[in-house]
Structures are given as structure tokens and as C-alpha cells.
Structure 1
Amino acid sequence: MWTIIFFLWFLSQLAGFGALIHLLLSRKRTTSLVLWALWLLIFPALGIPLYLTIGSDRIRRRSIPSHPPGEHLEDPNAPLGSPEIAPLLQNVSHLSGNTLTRASGLKLLPDTTTYYPHLLESIDKAEKFVHIQTYVFRMDSAGDRLLEALCRAAKRGVEVRLLVDEIGSASTRTRYFKPLIQAGGQFSWCMTVQPFRNRYFLNLRNHRKIQVIDGKIAYVGGMNFGVEYEGKDSEVGPWRDMQMSVRGPVVDALQTVFATDWSFATEEWLADRHYTGFSNDDANIPVTVVNSGPDEPDRSFLKTFIFTCNHAKERLDVFTPYFGPEESVILAMQLAARRGVRVRMLIPTPNEHQYMVDIGRAHYEQLMEDGVEVYEYHEAVHHGKVYIIDDNLFVLGSTNLDARSLRINFETTLLIEDRDTVAQLDKHYEVFFERAERIELEKFRNQPLTDKLKQGISRLFVPIL
């Protein structure tokens, strides 16, 4: 009996020691490292299984190929972007996995009444291939419509590939996609836990939302597929979001992102020559495709956001449903405000993850003390991830300003210089600011003690999310 107890104790100590060594060799931030070390040393029975399941935020895999800046230009050495923006685009493109290229035909799709029909029409017109990557794919009427369109395309002989995150779509069963496979299409889960392939990715998510059709048009943004995104889920309520369709050489860069993720999930590599080079558009809008995730060392989006904060001269508007960032993000916003930049942040209070509201509020005071304007939008969930810099630059994609998006999730976001689209975004979002509540610093300081404690406690979990 005592021998068994000693053996189990020895195994637990060995596991704890191994987890601690792995932790110390990781590239975690100091605060996160200290918190995990305390869990492992003080509560090993709970800390060890937690660390083994959700502690990892780095993996090794085939990285997304970076294309040389300006490779699609007649003069590859010519700078992309206006003289004031070109250096920023170049700096961001030099981060790992990013591509500086061009786009055309930008079209904002601010809700499912515009996005879903636009995408379904593109699928129905597809002749060569349809590649769909998403985080959430529900087994409901919204999912049914997309699945039926994919089946129709596959039956026409179009190559159809569907890549879905298994954790994000945990309620969806594999058998739901059987009609697509029977029609000749392909389906795969992404980030699946596969012990026999040495994959334990319970804490990692592929949060990208990319759709590429025939190499001619692509979609990117924050929208998934389910009735809640149509505002038809009574438990979630009204929903606002943002997606965008793009054309031009940027479609090739997005196809490369899909191909890399598809290869990781299925071990099938999609050769570029078969799926790129179909765009003949006269594209002249400079864009950097920002890819970030646990497989790249540069924390590309985090650095991109800091670059854009430092670049802002007149204003910075931040729209994110989840706000629980690293201190470097807070500092970048504070410094921009102190330079005289008007910094506004809009956070929705209806939220599918209500604890994120408290985490966000825990940072309000330090932001407002330096002049950042904080607004709360109470009418609906706003799930879009959009960042507007001055009157000619914006960021749009899947990346939130929370610890998971900045450090753990696979994300894809576009950094684009285009005055016309910024003007459209301004017109769209100014209505949100008008209908939102601006948080006043003194009133916020006088909130009930219970609210302050709830926010403080929630903030403790940010480093280990």
C-alpha cells in the first residue's frame, strides 16, 4: 500500500518538475510565468493538469510563407503606400509570416444580411475552388445554408475544402458535414487534440475567418456561421459585426494562409501554382496581411497595434468585443492620448462572454486618466474587430485586444491604407458612438465596491488566459 502511495507521489513530483522546467524554458511573460509557477508549486494536484491542458501557448509547425514586399508591382523596389504610410507598412511586413501586397474592390459587409448572401453568391458562381475557414460553424439554419451551397459547388466539380476549429464549434458534430464529403468536398477540424501525432492543443484556437473563392475574391473579418450572428438567438440578442470582401493580389496571400492551416490539419499541401495567380485586377490599395499565432515569434499583431498607435497623429478609434490586453497595449494607447491624439474605445456590454466585460472595465480608469475616451455600447453585441487610424488607415480582421488573440490564437488581420473605406467606416461607426454611453472618470471611480472587487478579481486571470 505504502509502496503504491510513494510511487504515485514520485510520479506527481516528476510530472510537476517536468512541467516547471517546461514553464521556465517557455517565452511566457514574467507575470504569467510567476502565476503558473505558483500554481505548480503550491497547488500541484490542480496546477499540473491545468498547465498540461491549457498552459501551452507555443507550437512548432510549418510557418506561413512570407512574400517579398512589393512582389506584385511592376517595379518591386517601388514603395507601397503614400510617403507617410509606406514605412509603417514596410515595418509590419517584416514581421514573421506577413505579406505586403495590394488590393482592390474593398467592400464592407457590416452584418449577415449583406455578408451571407454575398458569400453564398460567390460560392454558387465558383468554377475552380472554394476554401472556407471559420472558428464557429453551427448546426442551425445559418450553417445549413452554407453547407448546402458548398454541397452544390462540390457536385458541380468545384474543389471544396472546409476547415473548422474544433473547440470553437464544439457543439457541432462531425456527421453534420457528411453530406459535403458525399458530394465530393473535403472537411477537416483544425487544432484537433491528436496524442498519436504529439498534438495537445486544448488551449490553442484557430480563430481565423477566411474564405477564398477561385483565387479571385476573398473574405476576412470577424463573422462566423450561426443564427446568433443573424441576431436570431434569444439568449444572445441583437448582433453587430464586420466582414469585408477583397480582390487583387491580397487574395493570393490569404489563400497561402488557408493552405498553411489546411496542411497543418490534414498534412495535404496545396501547391500555390494551382490556387494563386488568378487575380487580374488593377489593384492599387496597399495592404499588409498580418498573421499571428503561437507558431510565430514576433507577436505580429501586438507589434502592429503598437506601431499604429505610435503612428496616429489625430485620432485612433478602437472597436473590439473583448478587451483584456497586455500592459504594452494600454501604454501605447495612453502615450497616443498624451501626444494629443484623440483615442476612443467602444466596448459592447452585451457579451457572449460576460466575464470579459469585467476584465475590460478593470482597465478603464488608467486609460481615462490619460485622456482615452471609453464608450460602452448597450444595444447589441458588437463582435467586429476594427481599428481606425487618422483618416486614411484601418485594421480589420479576426484579432481582438485580449490576451488570447494577442498571444495564443491563430489570427489574420489586414492593415490597409484607403481613405474611401475609412470614410465608410466612419459613417458606420459614428452612429455607434452617438448611441453609446461615454464612461465618466469620476462616476466610474465611485462605482460600488462589489463591482471594483469583481473587476479586480477578473484581472488576475488575464495573464494565464
Structure 2
Amino acid sequence: MDFIESIPPLVINIVKAAYVLAMLMIVFLVMLENRSPLKAIPWMLVLLFVPVLGVVFYIFFGQNLRKEKIIRRKGLKNHDLVSKIAHAQSHKLADGVMDDLPSLETHKKLIQLFLNNSSSILTIGNQVDVLNNGEETFNAILTALRQAQHSIHLQYYIFDEDEIGNQILDILKEKAIEGVEVRMIVDDVGSWELKRSFFSQMKTYGIEVYSFLTVRFPSLTSKVNYRNHRKIVVVDGETGFLGGLNVADRYIKGNPAYGTWRDMHLRITGDAVNALQSVFFVDWYFVSQQDIADPKYFPHKKPAGDKLVQIVTSGPDSDWPGIMMGYYQAIATAQKYVYITTPYFMPGESVLMALKASAMSGVDVRIIIPEKSDAYFTALCTKSYIKEMLAAGVKFYFYQPGFLHSKMMVVDDEVCTIGTTNMDFRSFEQNFEVNAFIYDRDKAQEVRRYFCNDLHQSVLIDAEEWRKRPRWQKAKESFARLFSPLL
């Protein structure tokens, strides 16, 4: 105290003025990014009312790096080839050259959108299997890994060294000893519990493993907010997996705090696997600086089925929030119904308005969310949207058996999507995500049946009962919603 009192008032005033000037400059920089006011205002409030912590949070979580392209895809062999194919397909689609493909006219605009916003090529001749829970998913993955002949590529947000994780690791070691090439990417934040010994052990077996966007103060702190949320497995360039499941026992055994951990995944064979392989290799280049384009990883494939599939990605490496735009287009053009399962619901104004408009125009819009959540503040924010959605005619349901982690949408028995993307700001605009969009009536009906099974284990939220909840609960939810663009 004596030390502070000994500081001349002029010095204190200069420090105060410098601090205020610094804060105003940071707020000004936020404004210059030309973000949506919905995203800029919360950060400005944080910076102004929690100044010291606000600056720290902004450095770690607030900077908009989409324009910086923290992964620059242009110039990579795989990406440039895919872009050329997508560009050619876009022209063929516009000129009617591809009109002989089954049911193409129904999905033409959505397919065109993905060709243009994310160079997501349309693949045909695919077999798609929906894996409806953790047991089905990991049994299928383990089987495929055991059958690998020359290459295994894995990418996960969370990889736990638990029972299922060690089963996978044991197979990877065995295959590496046999001479199979094994490459692995884990997100540095999602898999932060992995010890250094894990990486050194993998390398002793000849397994190449990297952390994605390693967070080390201060060099990459601005990128801690941009996480690789993708879950990809590609075996021999022939079989691919993607969906909502990370590698963790809870997807099979559940969790004592939440009960069943419900999720969905896909197994794909056919040309779409080449697209999934390209996604992996773009991320692999970023972590390893190896630009891999050897044709042996993209084997020529005979038709494995008759499903039309686009593997769609989005993230800070793209010009557009591609998956979000696809959700908007599919919802806005729905004629009969839109059914969605998502663990978190903070979709942003565009998708929110599309859902309301569809429901108010007579489309049957139903959304299942978990009643129990693994993220308290996010759950509060999710609940803040329910009242207005119910008022627009959207039917909301609470899933009862446990935690619902599925990321799925099906529209009009015509198109369905399963992948890694939650319906929130983070997935739509910040994380690296990947979804499969499937244009097939039979597959859409199958996914709808899975949705209806979950619906039977869920409770419809009654608008009147929801309105009667305590004011303090509503106040907490409204406060949490102020920060929804930051969650």
C-alpha cells in the first residue's frame, strides 16, 4: 500500500490513460473485423466490463482467423485436384449434363451449393451403413483395422487411452509391425490428457502421430479456439468412417453421471472414401508438412452401391461456413419435415430463422436435445432458445436415457446428413468439421426410423409448462445466451 501511495499521481494517470487507450484499441480492432453484431457485441462487453480477463480471453478465444486461412489448402495436390473436379461438376450440373443421375433434380441446388462453397465433389456408387450406437461403430472400426493391408489413417478430436482406445492402439501396433502405414492426428485440446509417452511409444512402432494445432503459450494461443473436431478413419483407401463418436469407453459403457452416451456414425465404401481421404491428407499436410498425393491411397473403385454422397467440410481453412449454409438450404427448402438431433442448440440467426420459417409454413420441424448435458453453461444457453422455437411451431424433445451426442438431420425422406457438426456457433463457424450428405430415399427413411426410435425415448416439451418455469432459471438462461457466439 505504501508503495502505491508513493507513486506520483501523474504516473498513475498516465498508466490509467494508457490502459484505457489500449482497451479502446482492442475494441476498435474487434469492430474492424466486421463481424456480425451478434458476435462482436459480446466480445466488446467482455473487454469493457472484465478488462484484464477479457483481454486474456480474447487473445485465446476471440480472434477471427478464417480470413487468415490458418490452413492454406490452395497449392496442395489433393485439394487442387478436388477443386478442379468440383468446378467441372458444377458446370455440368448447371448445364444439365448430370441430369441422368437418380433423384438429382430434387437435390440439385444443395449439391451445387456444396460444389461452390467447399469444393465438395458429388460421388456415386457408394454403400453407406448407418452405425447406430457405440457398440456397432467400434465393432465395425476394429474389424476394418484388423483387415488393413497397406494403410490406416485416423483422426480424432478425443482419443482416450481407456479400454476401447487401447484395443485400437494394440491393433495399430500389430499392423505397423506387419508393415502397414499408420498415420494418426489427434486434436491437442480435445486429447490434452494424452501423455508425451503416448507419442513416443507410437513412434517406436513406426506409427506417425501428430497433435493438431498444438497450444503453447504464446505462439499459438490465438488458435486455441479453432479445434479439429473431425472424426475420420480410412483403411486402405477402401473403407471410411465418420460421425459423432470419439474414441472413449463412454460411447459403449455410458457414463455414471449421464447414463447412456448416444451417438451415430457412418461406414462408407465407394468413391466417397477418396473424398474422405483427401480431407485427411489436407489436415495431415498441416501437421506434418507432407503433401501426399500418391495414387495408391486413392484406388480406382468399382461401384459399391448406388448412394449419392458429398463429403462436406468447413472450418477456418475455408472461405465459407459450408456445412452451416447446407443446413440452411436444406431446412429452408423442406416441404414435409425436418428432423434433427443435436447435443447443443445455438445455431445462429440464419439457421434459427430457417427453422422458424419452415415450421410456420407448415413443415413438421422436430428437434431432440439431451435433458442431461455435459456442459452446464452451454445447456443453459441451449434452453434459452426453446421458448421462441415453440412459439414458431417447432417441436422440442428432451432425450431421457442419457446424453444425446448424435449430430444428424433428415429432410423429407430425401436427404440426410450425419457427421461431426453440432448446431452451434462453434461447429458452424470455428471448428474443423466434416459431414456426409446422402441423397437417397431409402437411406433417409432408415435415418428417420432411428430418429423416431430416439423420439419414443424422449419427452415433448410443453409450451405452457415451459413458460411457467421459475424466473431465476429463465434469467440464468438469458444471461448465458448473451455469450452464445463465444461458447
Deviation at 1:95, TM superposition (A): 0.7
The number of aligned residues is 464
| Distance of 2:320 and 2:206 partners within structure 1 | 39
Conserved 8 A contact 1:291-1:413? yes
Distance in 2 (alpha carbons) for counterparts of 1:182 and 1:280 = 37
Q: Which residue of 2 aligns with 1:367?
A: 389
Q: Is the 8 A contact 1:161 1:186 kept in 2?
A: yes
Of 66, 72, 75, which aligns to 1:62? Answer: 72
Structure 2 partner of 1:223? 245
Q: Aligned pair in 2 of structure 1 residues 367, 7: CA closer, same or farther (>3 Å)? A: same
Structure-1 residue corresponding to 2:328: 306
Q: Tell me which residue corresponds to 2:112.
A: 90
1:32 aligns with 2:39: yes
Partner of 1:444: helix, strand, or coil? helix
Pair 1:354 & 2:381 matched: no
Contact 2:369/2:398, CA 8 A, preserved across alignment: yes
Rounded to whole Å, the distance in 2 between the matches of 1:31 and 1:275 is 43
Distance (Å, rounded) in 2 between the aligned partners of 1:174 and 1:13: 42
- Residues 348 and 378 in structure 1, CA contact (< 8 A), matched pair in contact too: yes
Residues 161-182 of structure 1: CA deviation (Å, up to 9, x unaligned):
1100111112221312433211
Aligned ranges 1:430-441 → 2 under 5 Å: 430-441=452-463
SS in 2 for 1:94: helix
The answer on 1:20 being equivalent to 2:48 is no
Unaligned runs of 5+ in 2: 1-6, 74-78
CA distance change for structure 1 residues 225 and 464 in 2, over 3 Å: closer, same or farther? same
Give the C-alpha shift of residue 132 in structure 1: 0.2
User: Is the contact between residue 135 and residue 169 of structure 1 (CA under 8 Å) also seen in structure 2?
Assistant: yes
* Identical residues among aligned pairs (%): 29
Output one character per residue of 1:366-409: Cα deviation in whole Å (capped at 9) or x when no partner: 11111111111121111110000011210110000011111111
Displacement, 1:429?
A: 2.1
Question: More deviation in 223-232 or 206-215?
Answer: 223-232
CA distance in 2, matches of 1:245, 1:433: 24
Shift of 1:272: 4.8
Q: 1:40 to 1:356 in 2, by over 3 A?
A: closer
Aligned to 2:181: 159
Which amino acid in structure 1 is aligned with residue 148 of structure 2? A
What is the aligned partner in structure 1 of residue 53 from structure 2?
46
Instruction: Assess, with a 3 A threshold, how the Cα gap between structure 1 residues 294 and 140 changes in structure 2: closer, same or farther.
Output: same
Q: Give the letter aligned to residue 122 of structure 1.
A: A
Deviation per CA, 1:29-87: give whole Å up to 9, x if none: 212212222333444322211111110242412135544249799x9841455122223
Map of 1:127 onto structure 2: 149
8 A Cα contact 2:131 2:264, kept in partner: yes
The Cα shift of 1:230 comes to: 1.3
Higher alpha-carbon deviation: 231-240 or 356-365 = 231-240
When normalised by structure 1's length, the TM-score is 0.93
TM-score by length of 2: 0.89
CA distance in 1, matches of 2:454, 2:123: 31
Equivalent in the alignment of 1:252: 274
Mapped pair 1:411 → 2:421: no
Deviates more, 1:269-278 or 1:29-38: 269-278
Question: Residue 187 and residue 372 in structure 1: after superposition, are their counterparts in 2 closer, same or farther (change >3 A)?
Answer: same
| Structure 2 letter corresponding to 1:113 | E
Q: Which moved more, 1:177-186 or 1:188-197?
A: 188-197
Whole-Å Cα distance in 1 between the matches of residues 373 and 467 of structure 2?
23
Deviations 1:264-287 (A, max 9, x none): 122222225342134333553222
Summarize the Cα distance change of 1:97–1:272 in structure 2 as closer, same or farther, 3 Å threshold.
farther
**CA distance, structure 1, for counterparts of residue 29 and residue 102 of structure 2:** 43
Greater mean alpha carbon deviation, residues 445-454 or residues 407-416 = 445-454
Letter of the structure 1 residue corresponding to residue 171 of structure 2: A
State the alpha-carbon separation in 2 of the partners of residues 196 and 437 from structure 1.
Answer: 47
Larger of the two Rg values belongs to structure: 2
Assess if the C-alpha contact under 8 Å between 1:154 and 1:180 holds in 2.
Answer: no
Cα deviation code 1:193-216 (max 9, x no counterpart): 256876731111100011111111
- Deviating more after overlay: 251-260 vs 41-50: 41-50
CA, structure 1 residues 199+280, in 2 after alignment: closer, same or farther (shift >3 Å)?
Answer: farther
Amino acid at match of 2:345: F
Q: Distance in 2 between matches of 1:103 and 1:411?
A: 24
2:348 is the counterpart of 1:326: yes
**Offset at residue 442 of structure 1 (A):** 1.2
Distance 1:354 1:211 in 2: 31
CA distance in 2, matches of 1:42, 1:357: 24
CA distance in 1, matches of 2:242, 2:43: 35
Q: State the AA in 2 paired with 1:276.
A: F
Measure, in 1, the Cα distance between the counterparts of 2:373 and 2:392.
26
In structure 1, distance between residues paired with 2:302 and 2:178: 24
Q: 1:295 is aligned with what amino acid? A: D
Which one-letter code corresponds to 2:42 in the other structure?
Answer: L
Structure 2 Cα separation of the partners of residues 127 and 70 of structure 1: 34
Structure 1 runs not aligned, ≥5 long = none
- SS of residue in 2 equivalent to 1:317: strand
Letter in structure 2 aligned against 1:326: G
